[in-house]
Structure 1
Amino acid sequence: MTTTDAGWTIEELLQTCIAEALRGANDGEPYWQSVRELQARDPDEVWRHLEPISQHEHARVRAIVPDVLRFLGQGSRPRLHDTVALFESMLRAAPAPELVASIGLALGELGVAEGVALMQPFAQHPDADVRFAVVSACLGQREPAAIETLIALSADTEDHVRDWATFGLGTQVGPTEEGDENAVDTQALRDALAARLEDSHVNTRSEAIVGLAARRDPRVLPILQREIDRGPELSLILEAARWMASPSLYEGLKRLEAHEDPERRKFWLDHGLADAIAACGRGRSV
């Protein structure tokens, strides 16, 4: 069976998921097509069939539960309290890494504050996918425990974990506009971002730059100038320049505007170069 049909019953869709999971193919299209179809079905009926699977002997089969529940109701978030309680019960049973990772990703998609406390004990797990799922559960959460966890994981050995943790600190809880009172801005958070300013991973480094620039931390200015002079690989650098609005960046940005490579110049112009030039030019003396 390689495709599912909208006319299939919930039982048939679940059997496809179980069969795919047991053969180690729960990252393939037949599995996810069945998951998506289940997410579109009646939430109470799907829940009734899923709950017993949460105690299945195979962790890959148990992982079907969070995979479906993360988007059950296709965004309407039905039975949210029951879902969190079920995940808590599943995590208490010393689950396999793939199940912990699936639960963490689901908690992140659900955006519940309870996800931080449930996933925080796995922040030092040896499996990088689990640590990434911890980050996912903390993204957008502003409570101190979430920030502390993201700070720790922003120094992770794995690039993708470090990248997303830095994004969580720099952008997800940062200001969205001038004077944003909801932004999280502590010395520990700033120091964690500053520690990533020389990161060898370009995405991580760029997330740190934009996060510090949005908070107008002067430590970012020489790094930002260097990235502009090199020719930014990511639009985040232009966003950071706009936030920083420093006249010292103006000439470097103008050089990008006149760059000899038309493709690079078009990329920068399409991704905020004009706004960055305008912001940095306002404070210049004429």
Structure 2
Amino acid sequence: MNELEFTKLFEKAYKAKTDNNNYWNQIFELRKFVTANMISKCFSLINSDNLKSKQIGIDILSQLGKDRKGFAPKMINEIFEIFETSTDEKLISKSLFAIGHNNKYIRKKHLDVLEKFKTSNSTDIRYALTFSLLGIKRKAAIKILIELAHDKSLRIRDWATFGLGTQIETDTKEIRDILYKNSLSKNDQIRQEAIKGLANRNDERVEKLILSELYKENFGTLFFDTLLNIKNGEQYLPLIINIYEKYKHDKDINATWLSDLKNCIKVLQEI
């Protein structure tokens, strides 16, 4: 990438409203140039006094190439300096998402700082915090995710439940307790994420929860994945087949869901 190409793409991104399609189109193009020069430019942007430039630098660098070990630790350090000096909601949120894409470089000292965001008044910041912690197995990260799994925001509870249930294999009473609590949620997505998490841990309460979902006949593709991966999932075949027979000619039923249901039956029958 030459200087002119960079300048044109940067100017388009700068003029676009952050987070609309036009903005991300420019960011995606800029991310294609995985060079030392681009890395240097991004750090210059992050260290500038201009808020929009900081955001652009973070958005490019956070997913610049597949192997980021050469610059990700430095980027993480720059982001934590931002946390010490900035109160801008969008910049903090973008920084947290950037951490989520590179959180294998997170250390204990970083988690101590991140914890303060769990009580932020901003739903966007708490949501981005949840993303930043996905897949981290450290006790401090799990503790924060457990608290976020109680959040008043449905999307935050959903992501935190997903993080605890399927993104880590850690199995503790505290994790099982929040997963079971959320397995009783009125929200379908949260409930089925929690059931999947309990199923992954072979929790003895899962059978009753699965039967409840089947009797309600209100489940999606996530639930199929649980049935296909749980031990002795074939025991539920009679109920699943009955549901399929009941709805297979119903024109109001989502065709993709019906197809997934049929495939679930086929796979379980072959076990």
TM-score calculated relative to the size of structure 1: 0.81
The DSSP-based 3-state class of the residue aligned with 2:30 is helix
Which deviations, in whole Å up to 9, do the C-alpha atoms of 1:216-271 show, x marking residues without a partner? 2122322210111222431222332341426763432232343343445433123x
Q: Shift in Å at residue 7 of structure 1?
A: 8.8
Q: 1:141 to 1:255 in 2, by over 3 A?
A: same
Gaps of 5+ in 1: 174-182, 280-286
Spell out, residue by residue over 1:138-160, the C-alpha distance to the aligned partner (whole angstroms, 9 max, x if none). Answer: 11111111111111111111111
Distance apart, 1:276 and its partner CA: 4.2
Tell me, in whole angstroms, the C-alpha distance in 2 between the residues paired with 1:163 and 1:148. Answer: 16
Aligned to 1:31: 23
Q: Which residue, 32, 41, 45 being the options, matches 1:49?
A: 41
Please give the secondary structure, in 2, of the residue aligned with 1:63.
helix
Q: 1:90 aligns with which of 59, 82, 85?
A: 82
Does the 8 Å CA contact 1:113/1:141 hold for their aligned counterparts?
no
Asked whether 1:19 is paired with 2:20, we answer no
Aligned residues, how many? 260
Identity %: 22
Shift of 1:42: 4.2
**Residues 184 and 57 (structure 1 numbering): CA distance in 2 closer, same or farther, change over 3 Å?**
same
Structure 1 position 146 matched with structure 2 position 137: no
Match of 1:218 among 204, 211, 214: 204
**Any conservation in 2 of the 1:166–1:204 contact (CA below 8 Å)?**
yes
For 2:118, the equivalent position in structure 1 comes to 123
Moved more, 185-194 or 7-16: 7-16
> Offset at 1:38?
1.7
Matches within 5 A, 1:106-117: 106-114=98-106, 117=111
Separation in 1, partners of 2:171, 2:231: 16
The residue identity in structure 2 corresponding to 1:9 is: E
Match of 1:163 among 155, 158, 165: 158
Q: Following the alignment from structure 2 to structure 1, what is the Cα–Cα distance between the partners of residues 197 and 59?
A: 31
Pair 1:188–1:277, CA change in 2 (3 A): farther
Report what 2:245 is aligned to: 258
Query: Cα–Cα, structure 1 residues 251 and 30, in superposed 2: closer, same or farther, change >3 Å?
Result: closer
CA distance in 1, matches of 2:89, 2:133: 18
Q: Aligned pair in 2 of structure 1 residues 275, 185: CA closer, same or farther (>3 Å)? A: farther
Query: Relative to structure 2, which stretch is displaced further, 107-116 or 142-151?
Result: 107-116
SS at match of 1:162: helix
Matches of 1:205 and 1:277 in 2, distance apart? 26
Q: Which residue of 1 aligns with 2:186?
A: 200
Kindly indicate whether residue 228 of structure 2 is the aligned counterpart of residue 233 of structure 1: no
Q: Give 1:85 shift.
A: 1.5
User: Which has more helix, going by share of residues?
Assistant: 2
Change (3 A) 1:91 1:228: same
Q: CA deviation at 1:71?
A: 1.2
Residue in structure 1 matched with residue 260 of structure 2 by the alignment: 267
Letter matched to residue 273 of structure 1? I
C-alpha RMSD of the superposition:
2.5
Amino acid at match of 1:16: K
Letter in 2 for 1:148: K
Selected match of 1:245 from 208, 232, 247? 232
Contact between 1:104 and 1:133, CA under 8 Å: does it hold in 2?
Answer: yes
